[in-house]
Chains A and B, each alone.
Chain A
Amino acid sequence: MFRPGMKGNTVNTSPTASAAMTSATAALLESLACASTDPQDRAHASTDRSGYVSPSVPDGVVFAESIDDVAQTMRRASELGVQVVPRGAGSGLAGGAAAHAGQVVLDVSRMNRILHIDPVEQIAVVEPGVVNAAVNAAVAEHGLFYAPDPASTAICSIGGNIATNAGGMWCAKYGVTRESILALRVVLPDGRILDTGRGTIKGVTGYDLNALMIGSEGTLGIVVEAKLRLRPRPVHTATLVAYFPDVAAAAQAASAIIAARVQPSVLELMDGQTLAAVDAAQGSDHAVRGGAFLLAQTDGYGAYLEQEVLVEAIRPYASSMEQAADAEHAGALMAARRAAIPSVEELGRVSICDVGVPRNRLAEAFAGLDAIAAKTGVRIFTVAHAADGNLHPMIVVEPHESITEGPAKEALGEMFHLAKGLGGTLTGEHGVGLLKRDWLQAELGDTSLELQHAIRDVFNPRGLLNPGKAI
């Protein structure tokens, strides 16, 4: 591997970057063949999709290509006392992979091989940098699928999904990332390699360190290999879209579905503002049909029977309903939902929030979001994974305004208090990262937070791995 900016070639073309370099980070980067100090690489690695703007760029980026590269980097970093920020595809929404001067980013996106697919055991072994959608494309040939399916499936990596315990559209029925990870290979902050979990479906040998790693946002260790649980692809999928006069009616319909004792595999809600944004960006005409949109899928042998139950539950609230005639039609409806975030991102600077509320309080949550928009002056567009009460309000400000300070931050704080007041949580699936740390203590309480710090110290005693994130 040879590219401009890498060790042995031109380095430190930017004067401000070289000024920030410490002797320890310089020594680390010097010693690693896969390190880059290219200004573009460093600028790119300073933030993620959260909208966070780092005050400076990291001193360098290590592009690991093997477990050995990761282990060696951590061993050296630990000897030199250098802070390391692990990074996958950089598609995080909470600033968990953001880095600044004095830190080195350890990028695992080149470790992107699918090592093994076992269709009999329904297991895949993958490297952390493999993109989520690539896993699903590969296992589809065997009639299987990998259930955690974030909206960012085309651009996010499995390692990042594990770091944030990502959810997605299918997780109400199939569980979040934790339920689909059987085992992990992890490099600890001192470079030792740890295997957690097991090759079997069940197991209770000792504490569940596998679950502890999942969602730890790169603060306990770096995932370098993962054994994924796959599932048989459902034989039928039935897709339904319903339009409502307003978002409150759509939220009531979603709650009615939960109470109707049927388990949709997908239940996605979009509010009227988001529909208008999608229409503007995609040239579609959803907004003329209603002020809110609910997309529901049922799957398995009983998909169509279950869809009938959904239709009856939704009917009292909906202004119109449409059943997908075929897979192409269903795909177009799903695409509308997947277009929501990119469409809103065209309107300004966006912060995608991630509160969770109990499933019968969705309507109250939407009302609360309207009040927050009115109070803080930001625009809020909301989509929700309605079957598990997980809302993604998107705060939008003008391109020249800050998305992490001022009214945007005030709105984020208000959203947390709204969720907490409804018995909910600060983050359903994106993680705490940098952007939500201010409210962590209020949610967890002093004793829990103290335990969390103590747990981190067991794995990461010197605090060199992703410092300042998550807790």
Chain B
Amino acid sequence: MTTTHSTTKIVDALQAALPGRVDTDPALLDAFTTDRSGHRSPGAPLAVVNACTIEDVQAACRLASEFRVPVVSRGAGTGLAGGAIAGPGEIVLSLTGMDRILEVSPANRLAVVEPGILNGDLNRVLAGHGLWWAPDPASKDISTVGGNIAMNAGGLLCAKYGVTREAVLALKVVLADGRLITVGHRTVKGVTGFDVCALMIGSEGTLGIIVEATLKLQPLVSGGVATVGAFFDSVEDAAAAASAITAEGLVPSIMELMDGRTITAMERFAGDAVFGGAGAFLLVQCDGPAAQATASRAAALATAIGGRVETTTDPEESDRLVGLRRNAFPALEAMGTMLVEDMAVPRDRMADAFAAIRRIEQKYDVAIPSTCHAGDGNLHPSFVYTGDTVPENIWAAAGEMFRTALDFGGTLSGEHGIGLLKRAWLRDELGDDQYELQRGIKELFDPLGILNPGKVFVPED
């Protein structure tokens, strides 16, 4: 990598403005060339700024604007779409040092936090107040609230409790030129002007840097939970059971589906035949006063479709079953580098989507273990490979999968974002007119194009 005059100058300027906060150690910078997507940038970034305050972020953005150097904001680096990967000539703005809880207000059911706090850590504190923050990605113990907001993360519980957008009241955002704005409201409702808060949520660090968030909290759910584990011969049957549960008007807090390939990987990872060789597994958890009534109705529907069903109200047994789902990604990652897709389809097309995945497996000669947030039709077909680059047949299979999702009236990404991984297909989903409008918005927030360039949109040469 060649170091140009201006890139040396930006590092000097950052070190002068933010003494002790700027790191250029190559061994350390290597970590920022990847995330959990399996992607790797061509080389190390120039430096990392370890921001501790909003002023640090503002200073870094002001200098980046002055020197026209790209800034990649980053939380815990657990993203699955390559959104926080930095490469040569770029500055990483790390927010993990900004991890304080600034306020918890039970009377307003809100919390004000810095972006670097881990989702799981926040929820442990909130539990002491009888409250919780609903966004619940499988990565909650290792992902940051800021990263969850940047992706509009979903998770296991969002079919009932909503995605991140529904759980954020207001944000403080540092703009590309270093100015600070507040968007949204401390109140539950508010319609003053355009919803720029919603625009920021899911914008993947391309419109501004989230430096503080006012989160909408929920009361901890009272009453116990009831959990149903249903084992099926085929994933199509399991998907049909999930669709039947939704069609019945039941609203489980968790409804997760895993196919046979995932089950095999998990049994190998656990060293135990916990699924008894089933071809698919459907996990249904219900909470609140209706937990048992909802669970037994769901169990009956699953049985009717041929599921072998276990129902439990024992909290430990419930936790064990949910833990199995949370271990799906670690089990797959143990087999190699994992590329996780994230398509969502209308909820009555899940069985069709699984059939399409099987077809794509055969066509491209690749195994695609798949999990699914069945309450909202969000599938995570996964590819596992070895080596540093994604094999050609996997790219081709992924491309066909995206087109299939769109054909089903679905979307490329339910909750992981576009990042680098899916940007080539963005225009296909949005259409030319919307794509241009989105680019227009990007340009007005970031006229110099320094905020996470190359992410979400394919660079225009």
Contact = CB atoms under 8 A, between A and B. Distances in A.
A459 B378 CA distance: 31
Interface string B312-350: 000000000000000000000000000000001111100
Interface string A126-167: 000000000000000001100000000000000000001101
A3 interface: no
Interface string A452-471: 10111111000000000011
Interface string A429-471: 1111000000010011101110110111111000000000011
B274 interface: no
A235 B293 CA distance: 12
Nearest to B158: A202
Given A215-B194, A263-B219, A448-B193, A388 B181 contact: no
B411 A198 contact: yes
A447 B107 CA distance: 31
A358 interface: yes
B109 interface: yes
A178 B197 CA distance: 12
Contacts of A124: none
Contacts of A440: 192-193
Interface stretch (A23-31, A243-251, A301-309, A320-328): A301-309
B397 to A, nearest CB: 20
B96 interface: no
B346 A447 contact: no
B202 A358 contact: no
Given A206-B456, A262-B219, A356 B187 contact: yes
Contacts of B431: 194-195
Interface string A198-217: 11111111111101101110
Given A175-B166, A445-B181, A389 B191 contact: no
Contacts, number: 268
B152 interface: yes
Contacts of B158: 202
A359 B109 contact: yes
B189 A428 contact: yes
Contacts of A370: none
Contacts of A122: 246, 249
A320 to B, nearest CB: 25
B377 A429 contact: no
B290 interface: yes
Contacts of B249: 122, 143-144, 232-233
A423 B103 CA distance: 14
Contacts of A206: 418, 426, 429-430, 434-435, 438, 456
A231 B251 CA distance: 9
A388 B344 contact: no
B191 A232 contact: no
Interface stretch (B53-61, B65-73, B439-447): B439-447
Nearest to A172: B188
Given A302-B288, A451-B445, A165 B194 contact: no
Given A209-B438, A425-B190, A121 B416 contact: no
A461 to B, nearest CB: 9
Nearest to B292: A301
Nearest to A231: B251
A215 B196 CA distance: 11
Given A198-B411, A359-B108, A208 B202 contact: yes
Given A263-B218, A302-B222, A356-B190, 12 more contacts: A122-B246, A206-B456, A212-B199, A214-B195, A232-B251, A359-B107, A428-B189, A432-B192, A448-B181, A448-B196, A451-B444, A471-B193
Interface of B: 105-110, 130-131, 151-152, 154, 158-159, 162-163, 165-166, 175, 179-183, 185-196, 198-199, 201-203, 207, 218-220, 222-223, 243, 246-247, 249-251, 288-290, 293-294, 344-348, 373, 375-378, 409-418, 422, 426, 429-431, 433-435, 437-438, 440-442, 444-445, 456
24 contacts: A118-B348, A121-B346, A172-B188, A194-B433, A200-B345, A202-B344, A203-B344, A207-B199, A207-B441, A220-B194, A232-B249, A233-B249, A259-B107, A301-B289, A301-B294, A302-B288, A356-B185, A388-B187, A425-B187, A428-B191, A432-B191, A432-B193, A447-B180, A448-B182
Closest 7 CB pairs of A and B: A302-B289, A301-B290, A232-B249, A261-B219, A211-B198, A360-B107, A388-B188
